[in-house]
Amino acid sequence: MSALVDGFGRTVRYLRISVTDRCDFRCVYCMAEEMTFLPRAQLLTLEEIAALSQAFVELGVEKIRLTGGEPLVRQGVLTLVQKLGELEGLRELAMTTNGSGLVKHADALRQGGLHRLNISLDSLKPERFKALTRTGDLGQVIAGIRAARRAGFQSIKLNAVLLKGRNDDEILDLVNFARNEHVDISFIEEMPLGAISEHNRGETFLSTDAVRETIENHYQLLPTTESTLGPSRYYRMADSQSRIGFISPHSHNFCAACNRVRVTAEGRLLLCLGNEHSVDLRAVMRRYPGDSLRLKSSIVAAMKKKPERHHFTTDGEVQIVRFMNATGG
């Protein structure tokens, strides 16, 4: 039985770890164009991430997702995947990536024990993709998606953040691409993390209800009870194995069923994506190296700080000053 139960009776079974705040893209909803990244000494070492992961698994966590920034730019991440893939009791090891490194790394990731991949894909138009990511190459990402398929992952899902007036005319194109590639896709409402100047979040907000309505004009969506322990609500189509998911932190708050915590790139245990409640686990590990009991006690005690819910708004105001790249997905 898991020891990680918060003050509202929710059991934490899912850990998301940011292995780096660095990324080779600069997506407009995730980062400012000019970013200052953490000094490397402030990041958790790969050994610290492995020890932290083991502690969480021993406390009942069943799923770990590696995120960034872009996890594949972290030197040594393949070795970390191998270590985590060997953890007894971990049922699922996943990664969220922008896909740019998958042509090179997909086979090694799969052989190392990674089960699932989430790949960000917000546009199928090369120039628009470049504008949204500021540095990304669409062709390289599509090649990475296909390399991942050949590598034989249990599940591959595309993640699309839709912005009104920016890429919402591609909803059906993205659905059809997922169908043709035999992968799943989730549509995500933009989250107000970090101050950006590139666009007004209040003006670009698009609810997943509107996205679902657009899709249902072309495909009948059949609700399912399937879950990957994450926040997506999944639907199936009668003529395709590809699932469509919706992640709706604004329009369909999913806090009541929250089973997740995050560890930031610098080792803060973040109890909620939309709040700043956190505990510095890096400090615990560096003050008491190798003391797994003390580390686990700190994690268990932190559950009392997990808030009941976030309070995101759609008026464009920033609720959280940290950017998504250092948060852990």
Residue numbers in the known binding site for S-adenosyl-L-methionine are 29, 69, 120, 191
Q: Terminal CA-to-CA distance of the chain, rounded, Å?
A: 26
Would you list which residues are annotated within the binding site for [4Fe-4S] cluster? 23, 27, 30, 255, 258, 272
DSSP 8-state class, residue 188? E
> CA-CA distance, 77 to 46, in Å (whole number)?
8
Residues in the chain: 329
Binding-site residues for GTP:
16, 65, 96, 157, 260-262
The span from the CA of 107 to the CA of 149, in Å, is 10
Q: State whether residue 151 is helix, strand or coil.
A: helix
Which stretches of 96-152 are DSSP H helices?
102-111, 126-133, 138-151
Which residues lie closer than 8 Å to 265 by C-beta, 6 or more apart?
18, 19, 20, 21, 38, 43, 44, 68, 69, 326, 328
Q: Are 281 and 52 in contact (CB under 8 A)?
A: yes
Query: How remote is the C-alpha of 207 from its chain's centroid?
Result: 19
Binding residues: 16, 23, 27, 29-30, 65, 69, 96, 120, 157, 191, 255, 258, 260-262, 272
Say how far apart CA 5 and CA 12 lie, in whole Å.
6
Q: Are 151 and 112 in contact (CB under 8 A)?
A: no
The amino acid at residue 223 is P
Residue 266 and residue 41: Cα distance in Å, rounded?
A: 9
Instruction: Confirm if 4 and 303 have CB atoms less than 8 A apart.
Output: yes
**Which residue from 36, 41, 76, 13 is spatially nearest to 282, judged by alpha carbons?**
41
Tell me the C-alpha distance between 243 and 265, whole Å. 31
The C-alpha atoms of residue 301 and residue 51 are separated, in whole angstroms, by: 18
